[in-house]
């Protein structure tokens, strides 16, 4: 999959201009390097203090910014984020299925985080990175860094889906970035007539939040069972099998949602938003009332534009200790966008992984900037998924580094009989509270 | 450790000389520090172990013995748990000690919660008469492996007490002696008291 040219031009638009876009596109093709910072005016000129710039105020970026300041107050931190608020993807399936009145429990802002830790917020679009000049180009001008952290999340690769264009998500929402897309999917479910067909299209791995689609299947089924019992939910999964917590999700589908839900192998290859048809490579067409098409994913646009992705233009290879890019020096990448050297299972692309990685990265950025030795990674992933309105199951991992590669030292899921599922539902809520508090204070 | 440091220095020198080394060799580094190991816990237990979620205990200011003892019991399965036992299996005893070193140095995490004042008042007397030999300083400190109770979330405390009473969590003998004669209302009053202490 190559970078979508139309999006790419749009991404690089604004102050930086087409000259840069052309240059970057050429560079992106060869998989190499730098974009010239061009003529954009410099903002926030760097004083004598060393500076880390963080791009992206999500699960990874907020934590990197905060922990760098906690560990070394002499380092200036600028956090670039286009939105004034952040809406959490984890738990957004509850909102989509009508089990949360609104998105307030999922939403944080940056005011307290910035004030408590002396982080300088820049609400702007980061459009390009000049790795040679150590400059980030934003919609408001360019700014200098000593080290850069890129935590861009994901963007979509839609070339493999015939008929999918920029407007498609407005009819067939992905709801794989929380916010307006979640609201749209919820509204479509609520306004559809009883008896309609809902389709969830799951992309091939790797994608953000492996258990997410299957949790969504459970919670949308819960909604349909209660409010629209004549309706059907079909999951078209491009993967050969359920990719996360298989036994647990399968049990939920068989025990609770048999009359509503069907799981089918099949990759979405074509969409027709006018005729409301979804076509899969299992040779079936589906006439849909609601289609939640989750396209294949890659690192967020800025990472691709900056040449931080590997030769497949998909994920950003990084060192397993410092999270420094193996392509560009002094640039570190976090979260969903990363490709980590691993021995055995990879770190899942989850919010908890991004949180844990950001701390490892912060410790080692501070070490590197102070000419101290770096410290090996020790990280955790813990992830709760709902299987019904009142029950959740979890998966947990512990990660260490052995010979420069990430190794899982423990990995396990909840017991298969749902004996602790009600407790885990409550634990999941406490997790959300803690992790969002950590990101916003 | 010393050897690792010299390896690192050499590698750093090599990095400066060779740009290609940058792209291929992983950064050699020291083994995980207490901060490295413990920061990861904050996703569920809050920054520096100060919990904002009312079913997750604060780890801040717990003694090293308390943390190490709890983690060993989670790891062996002696203490029943959902996710904790599974996570504990990924760590070594020296990791537990590192966690103990880190969290014992953090300040007590004060919480603001809805407390029944009458219950808390009654609980204060019960604490003094029954629990204060191990739960020191109104539960702000603990003797040996006794956990800090002060400012823990009431729902967390209630859940743990329920587990003690049903036998799901094993009560230490000294605690069982004191708890047995108390009524459910008295135990509830005690928990309100601990939750109220800042």
- Domain match, B118 and B173 both: yes
Residues 158-197 of B with CB under 8 A from A: none
Three-class SS state of A369: helix
Chain B: residue nearest A359 by CA? B39
ipTM: 0.89
Residues of A in contact with B8 (CB under 8 A): 373-374
- Domain match, A23 and A144 both: yes
Structural domain of residue A262, as residue ranges?
168-296
∠A28-A29-A31 over CA atoms, to 5°?
60
* Contact criterion met (CB below 8 Å) for A215 and A302: no
Q: Å from A375 to nearest chain B CA? A: 5
pTM over 0.80: yes
Chain A: residue nearest B7 by CA? A373
Put simply, the answer to whether B23 touches A327 (Cβ < 8 Å) is yes
With a cut of 70, say whether residue A133 has pLDDT above it: yes
Put simply, the answer to whether B40 touches A359 (Cβ < 8 Å) is yes
Q: What CATH code is carried by the domain that includes residue B186? A: 1.10.760.10
Task: Name the residue among A257, A284, A256, A258 with its Cα closest to residue A270.
Answer: A284
- Cα A208 from Cα A240, distance rounded (Å): 17
Q: Let me know if residue A419 belongs to a domain.
A: no
Q: Which of B107, B126, B156 is the last residue of a domain?
A: B107
pLDDT at position A343: 87
Structure tokens that stand for A27 in this block: 């560079």
- Domain match, B147 and B197 both: yes
pLDDT at position A38: 60
Q: Let me know if residue A314 belongs to a domain.
A: yes
Structure tokens that stand for B180 in this block: 């047995």
Q: What is the CA radius of gyration of chain B?
A: 21
Count of other CB atoms within 10 angstroms of residue A195? 11
Q: Let me know if residue B99 belongs to a domain.
A: yes
- Report CA B53 to chain centroid distance, whole Å: 14
User: Does B27 contact chain A (CB < 8 Å)?
Assistant: yes
User: Does B82 contact chain A (CB < 8 Å)?
Assistant: yes
Distances (CA, A) of A262 to A201, A208, A235, B5, B35: 12, 23, 6, 56, 46
Which phi-psi region, left, alpha or beta, contains residue A51 (left: φ > 0; alpha: ψ -120 to 50)? Answer: beta
Structure tokens that stand for A430 in this block: 């406490």
- Cα A248 from Cα A254, distance rounded (Å): 10
- Domain match, B123 and B158 both: yes
User: Does B49 contact chain A (CB < 8 Å)?
Assistant: no
A311 — pLDDT class (breaks 50, 70, 90): confident
∠B105-A433-A113 over CA atoms, to 5°?
70
Residues of B in contact with A355 (CB under 8 A): 42-43
A393 — pLDDT class (breaks 50, 70, 90): very high
User: Does B31 contact chain A (CB < 8 Å)?
Assistant: yes
Put simply, the answer to whether B44 touches A356 (Cβ < 8 Å) is no
Residues 38-67 of A with CB under 8 A from B: 66-67
Instruction: Label the pairing between strands A331-333 and A76-80.
Output: unpaired
User: Does A410 contact chain B (CB < 8 Å)?
Assistant: yes
Q: Let me know if residue B72 belongs to a domain.
A: yes
Structure tokens that stand for A105 in this block: 């429990």
With a cut of 90, say whether residue B47 has pLDDT above it: yes
Task: Name the residue among A197, A90, A115, A430 with its Cα closest to residue B54.
Answer: A430
User: Does B43 contact chain A (CB < 8 Å)?
Assistant: yes
* Contact criterion met (CB below 8 Å) for A217 and A235: yes
User: Does A340 contact chain B (CB < 8 Å)?
Assistant: no
Q: Å from A437 to nearest chain B CA? A: 7
| Residue A208 dihedral angles phi and psi, to the nearest 5° | -60, 130
Q: Which of B107, B135, B155 is the last residue of a domain?
A: B107
pLDDT at position A404: 82
pLDDT at position A39: 65
Distances (CA, A) of A363 to A67, A284, A329, A355, A401: 8, 51, 17, 13, 15
- Domain match, B165 and B190 both: yes
A203-258: per-residue pLDDT in tens? 999 999 999 999 999 999 999 999 999 999 999 999 999 999 999 999 999 999 99
Put simply, the answer to whether A434 touches B54 (Cβ < 8 Å) is no
A41-77: per-residue pLDDT in tens? 999 999 999 999 999 999 999 999 999 999 999 999 9
With a cut of 90, say whether residue A414 has pLDDT above it: yes
- What mean pLDDT is predicted for residues A295-306? 98
% of chain A beyond a pLDDT of 70: 91
- What mean pLDDT is predicted for residues A13-28? 36
Count of other CB atoms within 10 angstroms of residue A167? 9
With a cut of 80, say whether residue B9 has pLDDT above it: no
Chain A: residue nearest B83 by CA? A396
* Contact criterion met (CB below 8 Å) for B197 and B109: no
Residues 6+ apart with CB under 8 A from B147: B57, B62, B66, B70
With a cut of 50, say whether residue A28 has pLDDT above it: no
- Cα B117 from Cα A165, distance rounded (Å): 60
Put simply, the answer to whether A380 touches B41 (Cβ < 8 Å) is yes
User: Does A341 contact chain B (CB < 8 Å)?
Assistant: yes
Q: What is the mean pLDDT of chain A?
A: 92
* Contact criterion met (CB below 8 Å) for A77 and A52: yes
- Cα A364 from Cα A348, distance rounded (Å): 21
Q: Å from A179 to nearest chain B CA? A: 22
- Residue tagged 């709890």 (tokens): B70
Q: Let me know if residue A395 belongs to a domain.
A: no
Q: Å from A378 to nearest chain B CA? A: 6
- Cα A423 from Cα B55, distance rounded (Å): 10
Q: Which of A358, A373, A388 is the last residue of a domain?
A: A373
| Residue A415 dihedral angles phi and psi, to the nearest 5° | -60, 145
With a cut of 90, say whether residue A13 has pLDDT above it: no
- What mean pLDDT is predicted for residues A343-362? 95
B3 — pLDDT class (breaks 50, 70, 90): very low
pLDDT at position A31: 37
Largest CA distance in chain B: 74
A152-167: per-residue pLDDT in tens? 999 999 999 999 999 9
A190-201: per-residue pLDDT in tens? 999 999 999 999
Put simply, the answer to whether A398 touches B87 (Cβ < 8 Å) is yes
What is the tally of structural domains in chain A?
A: 2
pLDDT at position A403: 82
Nearest CB neighbour to A427, from listed B25, B55, B91: B55
With a cut of 60, say whether residue A102 has pLDDT above it: yes
B54-103: per-residue pLDDT in tens? 999 999 999 999 999 999 999 999 999 999 999 999 999 999 999 999 99
User: Does B13 contact chain A (CB < 8 Å)?
Assistant: no
% of chain A beyond a pLDDT of 90: 87
* Contact criterion met (CB below 8 Å) for B170 and B74: no
Three-class SS state of A306: coil
User: Does B23 contact chain A (CB < 8 Å)?
Assistant: yes
Q: Let me know if residue A52 belongs to a domain.
A: yes
- Cα A322 from Cα A86, distance rounded (Å): 26
Q: For chain B, what's the residue count?
A: 198
* Contact criterion met (CB below 8 Å) for A69 and A77: yes
Q: Let me know if residue A307 belongs to a domain.
A: yes
Q: Let me know if residue B189 belongs to a domain.
A: yes
Interface test with B, best of A378, A383, A414, A421 (most B CBs within 10 A): A378
Distances (CA, A) of A318 to A308, A327, A331, A406: 9, 8, 9, 11
- Domain match, A63 and A132 both: yes
Residues of A in contact with B1 (CB under 8 A): none
- Domain match, A173 and A277 both: yes
B134-182: per-residue pLDDT in tens? 999 999 999 999 999 999 999 999 999 999 999 999 999 999 999 999 9
User: Does A96 contact chain B (CB < 8 Å)?
Assistant: no
Q: Which of A279, A296, A313 is the last residue of a domain?
A: A296
Q: Let me know if residue B25 belongs to a domain.
A: no
Task: Name the residue among A22, A54, A52 with its Cα closest to residue A38.
Answer: A22
Q: Å from B91 to nearest chain A CA? A: 7
Residues 274-293 of A with CB under 8 A from B: none
pLDDT at position A282: 83
The one-character DSSP state at A82 is S
Count of other CB atoms within 10 angstroms of residue A405? 14
Put simply, the answer to whether B89 touches A352 (Cβ < 8 Å) is no
Structural domain of residue B89, as residue ranges?
32-107
Distances (CA, A) of A17 to A27, A45, A137, A441, B43: 16, 22, 11, 37, 41
Put simply, the answer to whether A356 touches B43 (Cβ < 8 Å) is yes
* Contact criterion met (CB below 8 Å) for A218 and A94: no
- Domain match, A202 and A292 both: yes
Structure tokens that stand for A33 in this block: 């390097």
Q: Å from A23 to nearest chain B CA? A: 23
Q: What CATH code is carried by the domain that includes residue A15? A: 3.50.50.60
Burial of A74 per CB tally in 10 Å (0-12, 13-18, 19+): exposed
Burial of A141 per CB tally in 10 Å (0-12, 13-18, 19+): middle
What is the tally of structural domains in chain B?
A: 2
- Cα A182 from Cα A189, distance rounded (Å): 11
Nearest CB neighbour to A382, from listed B4, B43, B47: B43
Q: Let me know if residue B4 belongs to a domain.
A: no
Put simply, the answer to whether A378 touches B32 (Cβ < 8 Å) is yes
- Domain match, A323 and A268 both: no
Interface test with A, best of B2, B19, B26 (most A CBs within 10 A): B26
Task: Name the residue among A181, A313, A146, A441 with its Cα closest to residue A172.
Answer: A181
């Amino acid at each position: 999959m190559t970078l979508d040219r139309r999006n790419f031009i749009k991404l690089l638009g604004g102050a930086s201009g087409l000259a840069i876009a052309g240059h970057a596109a050429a560079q992106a093709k060869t998989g190499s390097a730098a974009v010239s910072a061009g003529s954009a005016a410099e903002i926030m000129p760097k004083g004598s203090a060393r500076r880390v710039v963080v791009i992206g105020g999500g699960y990874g970026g907020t934590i990197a910014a905060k922990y760098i300041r906690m560990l070394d107050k002499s380092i200036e931190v600028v956090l670039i984020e286009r939105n004034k608020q952040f809406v959490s993807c984890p738990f957004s399936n509850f909102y989509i299925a009508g089990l949360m009145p609104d998105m307030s429990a999922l939403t944080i802002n940056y005011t307290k985080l910035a004030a408590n830790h002396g982080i300088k917020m820049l609400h702007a679009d980061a459009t390009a990175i000049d790795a040679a000049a150590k400059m980030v180009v934003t919609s408001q001008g360019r700014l200098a860094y000593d080290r850069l952290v890129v935590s861009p999340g994901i963007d979509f690769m839609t070339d493999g889906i015939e008929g999918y264009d920029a407007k498609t998500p407005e009819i067939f929402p992905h709801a794989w970035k929380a916010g307006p897309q979640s609201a749209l999917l919820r509204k479509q479910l609520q306004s559809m007539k009883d008896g309609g067909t809902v389709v969830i299209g799951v992309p091939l791995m790797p994608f953000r939040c492996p258990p997410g689609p299957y949790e969504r299947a459970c919670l949308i089924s819960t909604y349909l069972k209660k409010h629209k019992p004549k309706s059907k939910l079909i999951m078209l999964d491009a993967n050969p099998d359920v990719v996360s917590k298989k036994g647990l999700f399968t049990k939920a589908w068989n025990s609770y949602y048999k009359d509503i839900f069907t799981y089918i192998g099949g990759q979405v290859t074509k969409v027709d938003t006018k005729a409301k048809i979804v076509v899969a490579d299992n040779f079936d067409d589906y006439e849909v009332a609601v289609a939640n098409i989750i396209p294949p994913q890659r690192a967020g646009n800025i990472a691709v534009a900056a040449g931080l992705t590997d030769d497949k233009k998909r994920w950003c290879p990084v060192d397993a200790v410092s999270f420094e890019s193996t392509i560009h020096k002094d640039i570190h990448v976090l979260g969903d966008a990363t490709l980590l050297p691993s021995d055995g299972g990879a770190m899942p692309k989850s919010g908890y992984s991004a949180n844990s990685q950001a701390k490892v990265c912060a410790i080692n950025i501070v070490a590197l900037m102070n000419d101290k030795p770096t410290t090996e990674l020790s990280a955790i992933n813990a992830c709760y998924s709902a299987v019904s309105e009142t029950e959740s199951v979890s998966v947990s991992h512990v990660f260490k580094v052995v010979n420069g590669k990430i190794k899982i030292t423990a990995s396990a899921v909840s017991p298969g009989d749902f004996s602790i599922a009600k407790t885990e539902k409550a634990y999941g809520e406490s997790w959300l509270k803690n992790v969002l508090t950590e990101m916003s204070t | 450790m010393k050897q690792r440091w010299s390896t690192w220095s050499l590698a750093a020198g090599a990095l400066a000389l060779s740009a290609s080394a940058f792209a291929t060799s992983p950064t050699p580094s020291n083994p995980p520090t207490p901060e490295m190991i413990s920061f990861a816990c904050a996703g569920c237990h809050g920054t520096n172990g100060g919990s904002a979620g009312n079913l997750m205990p604060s780890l801040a200011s717990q003694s090293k013995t308390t943390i190490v003892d709890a983690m060993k019991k989670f790891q062996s399965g002696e203490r029943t748990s959902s996710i904790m036992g599974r996570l504990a299996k990924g760590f070594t005893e020296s990791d537990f000690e590192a966690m103990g070193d880190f969290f014992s140095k953090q300040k007590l995490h004060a919480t603001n919660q809805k407390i029944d004042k009458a219950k808390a008042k009654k609980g204060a007397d019960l604490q003094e008469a029954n629990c204060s030999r191990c739960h020191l300083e109104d539960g702000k400190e603990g003797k040996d492996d006794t956990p800090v109770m002060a400012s823990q979330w009431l729902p967390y405390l209630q859940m743990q007490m329920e587990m003690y009473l049903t036998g799901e969590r094993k009560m230490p003998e000294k605690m069982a002696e004191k708890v047995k004669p108390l009524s459910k209302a008295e135990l509830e009053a005690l928990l309100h008291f601990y939750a109220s202490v800042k």
